[in-house]
Amino acid sequence: PTHAYIRNMRVLPTATLAAAAAASTLLLLAHASVTSRRLALPSLPAKPAAAAAATSTVRVLRRDVPVMERMRRRRARQVGAFTPPRASWGAPRTIAAAASSSSSSSSSSPKNQLEWITQHSEIIPDAFSMEGVDYTPRSGTVSGNLILRLMDVEGFDFIEDEIRPAMTATMTDAMFDGYIPEKRIKSERRHLYAIVASKILKRVSGKVSIEIDPRVAHDTAKTLEEVRVLASDCKRVGIDVKEKIIFKIPATREGISAAGTLTKQDGFCCQMTHVYSLAQAIAATEKGVAVVQPYIGRVNDWHKTHQEKNADAVEYAASSNPGVELVRCIYNYVKNENKDTKIMAASIRTPEDALAVAGVDFMVVSPAIIKTLALSDVSGAPDNSILGEHVEFNPRELQTEEFGQIAEDLLESEIKRSTDAVEKLEYNLANTALGTM
pLDDT range class, residue 234, cuts 50, 70, 90: very high
pLDDT score of 191 more than 60: yes
Q: What pLDDT does residue 10 have?
A: 39
Residues of the chain above pLDDT 90, percent: 39
pLDDT of 417 above 60: yes
Task: Return all residues near 419 (Cβ < 8 A) that are at least 6 apart.
Answer: 214, 215
Q: Where are the alpha helices (DSSP H) in 155-277?
A: 156-158, 164-177, 181-201, 220-236, 241-244, 253-261
Degrees, nearest 5: CA angle 391-287-264: 145
Please, which residues bridge with residue 384 across strands? none
Residue 271 to residue 363: CA distance in whole angstroms: 13
**Selection from 69-78, 184-193, 310-319, 325-334 with the highest mean pLDDT:** 325-334
Asked if pLDDT for residue 116 goes beyond 80, the answer is yes
Q: Confidence band (pLDDT; 50, 70, 90) for 181?
A: low
- pLDDT over 90 at 263, yes or no: yes
Buried b (16+ CB within 10 A) or exposed e, 297-326: ebbbbbbeebeeebebbebbeebebbbbbb
Does the pLDDT of residue 71 top 60, yes or no? no
- Rounded mean pLDDT, 283-312: 87
**Annotation says 183 is catalytic:** no
Q: Residue 419's Cα: distance from chain center in Å?
A: 13
pLDDT at 178: 53
The reported pTM is 0.70
Is 423 in contact with 41 (CB distance < 8 Å)? yes
Beta bridge partners of 248: 211, 271
424: pLDDT strictly greater than 60: yes
Q: Is the pLDDT of residue 239 over 80?
A: yes
Mean pLDDT of the chain: 73
* pLDDT tens for each residue of 16-62: 444 444 444 444 444 444 444 433 333 434 444 444 443 433 333 33
Rounded Cα distance between 156 and 57, Å, is: 9
Beta strands in 42-149 (DSSP E): 122-125, 140-142
Q: What is the mean pLDDT of residues 353-363?
A: 92
The residue among 37 and 416 whose pLDDT is bigger is 416
Q: List domains and CATH numbers for the chain.
A: 113-306+316-435 (3.20.20.70)
Q: What is the mean pLDDT of residues 106-127?
A: 83
Q: Which of these ranges, 127-141, 227-241, 392-406, has the smallest mean pLDDT? A: 127-141
Pairing of strands 245-250, 291-294: unpaired
pLDDT (tens digit, 9 = 90+) per residue, 117-142? 999 999 888 765 555 566 677 888 89
DSSP state of 280: H
pLDDT at 235: 95
Q: Are 126 and 364 within 8 A, CB to CB?
A: yes
At 77 the pLDDT is 45
Q: Does residue 399 or residue 60 have the better pLDDT?
A: 399
Q: What is the C-alpha separation between 238 and 254, in angstroms, rounded?
A: 30
CA trace torsion 3, 4, 5, 11 (10° rounding)? 110
Beta strands in 128-167 (DSSP E): 140-142
Is 2's pLDDT higher than 70? Answer: no
Q: Most distant CA pair in the chain: distance in Å?
A: 102
Q: What's the whole-number mean pLDDT along residues 134-159?
A: 78
Asked which of 44-48, 148-152, 202-206 is least confident by mean pLDDT, the reply is 44-48
In contact, 165 and 191? CB cutoff 8 Å? yes
72, pLDDT greater than 70:
no
Which are the contacts of 258, defined by CB distance < 8 A and separation ≥ 6?
220, 223, 224, 227, 249
More confident residue, 154 or 212: 212
Name the catalytic one among 207, 248, 371, 424. 248
Helix axes 181-201, 220-236, angle to 10 degrees: 60
Question: Facing residues of 250 across strands?
Answer: 273
